[in-house]
Structure formats: C-alpha cells, structure tokens
Structure 1
Amino acid sequence: MRNDDPLGGAVATDDRTRLDSTLIATLIVDDDLTFRKTVRQLLERVPEVSIVGEAADGEEALRLAQALRPDVVLMDITMPRLDGLEATRRIKAEQPDMKVIVLTVHQEEAYRKTACEYGADAFLTKKTVGSRLIPMIIGS
C-alpha cells in the first residue's frame, strides 16, 4: 500500500459517470465478496444508482467514504479490522448527511439498536435485501 494512495488499496469503481449529479453514488462495504457481487448486480440494474466503490472492512470503508463522498453507504456489521457499527459511527460523526444502510445477517434487536445509536439511517437483514434495498436507496 502506498502512503499517497487516498484509497489505501481499496476498490473504487465508477460504472456510471459521477458527473451526472442525479445518480445516487453508492459504496458497498462487506467482507463477503460473493455478497458484494450480488448487491452490485442488483444495483447495476437500477439507472438511478452509481456504484462508486467497494470495501471489504471498516477501515477501507472509512477511507473510501472520505475520498469518494458517496450519497449512500451499504454497511455490513461483522467484518475484520473494524466492524461496521464502529465504521458507521465514525462516518456519521464526520459526514452526518451521508446515508448509511446497515445490511447484516444479525437479526437481534441489540444490533438494530446499536446501529441506530451510532447513526445508521436504516437496518436491513440480508434476507430482505432483494425486496427492500432499492426503495431505501432511491428514497434517499
């Protein structure tokens, strides 16, 4: 990793030009590559959404959120190096207008409560992503 790399080696993408300010710039954060690909495929069919980057842990998420300034961050909870709840807290402290949607396998109320306390704008279980995610993003 180079010190002058603001993304710290994380993946930044831009399938649809960010010059179109009507697009909802979205960052996908999940340590599961298969799940990230699934979410990407789902969102690539939505003309209003531009996927600007992907991260595999909370530290990468913080770097990308600061460098890319997405409108929406899709954040897993359980990840290496820095979990998604703490990453959410830090992102919202620095950029309160950035929308963070927590996507997780955890269904326990304690996770939902903590996500809300840390500033998450929405909380979805991964089982409901297919039916509920797009309206949440577009409604941002």
Structure 2
Amino acid sequence: MLAYDRNSPLWKLSHMPVYTELQDRTTMRLSRLLLVDDNKKFLDMSREFLESECDHVIVVGTAGTAEEALKLIRQARPTLLIVDLAMPDMSGLELTQRVKQTRPELPVIILTLFDTPRHRQAALEAGADAFVAKASMDSDLIPAIERLSSSGEC
C-alpha cells in the first residue's frame, strides 16, 4: 500500500476541490424573482433580459394575473416581486397592498408604462419599494433590483 505525503504537491493537487460554473451559481446567494404582467411577450422578454444580464438572479416564475401571482408567491417563495400596474383581474397596486399585508419583507418593484407623478405616488402609498418605467427598463431596472435584492447584486 502506498502512503502519500500530505505535504507533497501531487497529494495537494489530487485533493483540491473542483468547482464548476454551475456549482458557483447554485452556491451563491441568488435573488428569486417573480415577474407579474398580463403581456406574455413582455414576460418572456423580461425573463430573458434578466437572466442574461443578472448573474445573481433567478426567475422562479411568471404570472399573467394577480391571482396567479398570489398562488406563485406561496409556492415559489420569491425574494423579489416585479409587478405591472395594469392587469385584468386586479391592479398591481392592489396586488402590492395584499402582498405587503402577508409578506411585508418582500420587496416589490412596480414596472409600468404609466410613468406619471400620480402613478408613482400611488405605488409608494400601496407599499411598493421601487417604481420603474418600462421605457427606461434597460437602464433603471437592474439598479433597482441590486438595491432591493437579498444579494445586493444583479
């Protein structure tokens, strides 16, 4: 039986842990995003944008209605919610209020076409943590996610 010296370079090399990119991604602290918008194409585009631009984000689900979002919040346990204002069954403001009643620690970003002072104020009053206009999504969404995410990164 061969005995290896623990101080030898060969022993150290053979006992080094091997890390892969997948292991690095699964062991780092990821923000778990839930996207809520009634426009399926926009949801798909947003998911693709976030997954390609943000290493510390995983999209755990998408919802086309507020009711679907409420179910997914319980099932997927997101750490960050991105919500459109205008949806068919309930407004993004009402959804935000309901979420904040049960999960006040869950950050909510309102992402909408309606970029007016009135809409911004209403989002703030509903409990939203950030407001991003869809027109400036490519420059403003990632900083908002970084500010509110559990990892502090995107």
> What TM bracket, shorter-length normalisation?
0.7 to 0.9
Residue number in structure 1 paired with 2:35: 28
Range moving further from structure 2, 108-117 or 120-129:
108-117
SS at 1:54 equivalent = strand
CA distance in 1 between counterparts of 2:63 and 2:105 reads 20
Distance 2:128 2:66 in 1: 14
Gaps of 5+ in 1: 1-15
Instruction: Pick which of 114-123 and 64-73 moved more.
Output: 64-73
Does 2:121 align with 1:78?
A: no
Question: For each residue in 1:27-64, what CA deviation from the matched residue of structure 2 results, as whole angstroms up to 9, or x when unmatched?
Answer: 00000111111111111111100000000011111111
In the alignment, does 2:48 pair up with 1:41?
A: yes
Q: Which has the larger radius of gyration?
A: 2
Q: RMSD over aligned Cα, in angstroms?
A: 1.9
| Alignment coverage as a number of residue pairs | 125
* TM-score in terms of structure 1 length: 0.83
Question: In structure 2, which of residues 139, 142, 152 is the aligned counterpart of residue 134 of structure 1?
Answer: 142
Alpha-carbon offset, residue 66 of structure 1: 2.1
Matched, 1:104 2:116: no
| Equivalent AA in structure 2 for residue 38 of structure 1 | M
1:67 maps to which of 41, 65, 75: 75
Q: What is the aligned counterpart of 1:55 among 39, 63, 66?
A: 63
- The answer to whether the 8 A contact 1:57-1:83 is kept is no
The answer for the alignment partner of 1:6 in structure 2 is none
For structure 2, list consecutive stretches of 5 or more residues without a partner in the other structure.
1-21, 149-154
Percent identity over the alignment is 39
Matches of 1:20 and 1:50, distance apart in 2:
13
TM-score when scaled to structure 2?
0.76
What is the distance in 1 between the residues matched to 2:75 and 2:28?
Answer: 17
Q: Which residue of 2 aligns with 1:125?
A: 133
Higher helix share: 2
CA distance, structure 2, for counterparts of residue 138 and residue 24 of structure 1: 9
Alignment of 1:92 with 2:91, yes or no, is: no
